[in-house]
Amino acid sequence: MNETLRIIDNRKSLRGYDSKEITLEHKKLILHSTFRAPTAGNMMMYSIIEVADQKMKDKLVKTCDNQPFIAKAPLVLLFLADMQRWYDLFEYSGVQELCKERNLAYDTPKESDLMLASCDALIAAQNAVIAAESLGIGSCYIGDIMENIEIHREMFDLPKWVFPIALLCFGYPLREDREDRERTPRFSEHFVYFKNKYKRVKIEEFEAEFADRFKDRKDLFNDAQNIGQAMFLRKTGSDFAAEMRRSVKVAIDDWIE
């Protein structure tokens, strides 16, 4: 393995941070790597807000499903899928008038633009994660930033065509976090990597996969009878997932209006 592959292989989400500030040099290097990420049509359909205000971090703890470590992260970056910047330029540039003159269709951003802008934002975010990791800085995504859209819009002055797709917390590890915590397991390759055609997973394959992975994890089950039920109760069927569903629907409906 080379150094880059080792960094990718060893990375684990970090949720406990040293209170030490991220040095300016490290921050600049992370941002530089972020901006060098591939971007559709080189349009950079994303923006980043650094959440520097401690009161705002404290509020995010609550609005992002009560995750206290957000407040302790020395660097918090909000990644936004952003079509507002381009549509502002189109307006300043008389694009609508041009379309009228030339009989071309003009449309405001739609679902595809949100998808593309979200791809841009997340690809840039992952560059930040890997760059940080290479500098000895750990990170953790907070997907719950997609919840409570009304509150987050107000907090960050987000206009119509800007959607908060991911929050990233960064920090140097606390001493205890440096100890070798096991990496989280992944699905076996044949679950996620196919040749030529998609392949659905059979119940026996799930059972074989999970027999080992969850054999000492009865704690995950609670009152569920199997891992499918347990995962549904903990994730997809949870209160936070319901809030995310509501919030994202509001955001998409407003975006495509």
Q: Which of 86, 87, 141, 214 binds ligand FMN (CB under 6 A)?
A: 141
Kindly state the smallest distance separating residue 231's Cβ from ligand FMN, in Å: 12
Considering the complex, what minimum distance in angstroms separates the CB of residue 153 from ligand FMN? Answer: 19
- Dump the DSSP string for 159-173: -TTEEEEEEEEEEPB
For 133-147, b/e burial (b = at least 16 CB within 10 A) is bbbebbbbbbebbbb
String marking each residue 47-66 x if it binds ligand FMN according to CB under 6 A: --------------------
Question: Between the CA atoms of 65, 61, 250 and 154, what dihedral angle is there, to the nearest 10 degrees?
Answer: 160
Q: Distance from CA of residue 54 to its chain's centroid? A: 21
8 A C-beta contact, residue 73 and residue 168: no
Report if residue 239 touches ligand FMN, rule: CB under 6 A.
no
* 61 contacts 71 by C-beta, under 8 angstroms: yes
59 neighbors 91 (Cβ within 8 angstroms): no
Binding window for ligand FMN (CB under 6 A); candidates: 99-107, 142-150, 171-179, 201-209 = 142-150
| Closest CB to ligand FMN among residues 9, 257 | 9
Site string (180-199) toward ligand FMN, x via CB under 6 A: ----x---------------
- Token readout for 207 is 């059972």
Under the criterion CB under 6 A, does residue 144 sit at the interface with ligand FMN? yes
Task: Give the x/- contact pattern for ligand FMN in 111-140, rule: CB under 6 A.
Answer: -----------------------------x
Nearer of residues 2 and 184 to ligand FMN, judged by Cβ:
184
Binding mask 5-34 toward ligand FMN (x if CB under 6 A, else -) reads -------xx-x-------------------
Please state, in angstroms and rounded to a whole number, the distance separating the CA atoms of residues 207 and 191.
12
Q: Which residues are CB-neighbours of 79 under 8 A, at least 6 positions away?
A: 46, 48, 121, 122, 124, 125, 164, 165, 166, 167, 168
Binder of ligand FMN out of 38, 94, 136, 143 (CB under 6 A): 143
Q: Which residues bind ligand FMN (CB under 6 A)?
A: 12-13, 15, 67, 140-144, 166, 184
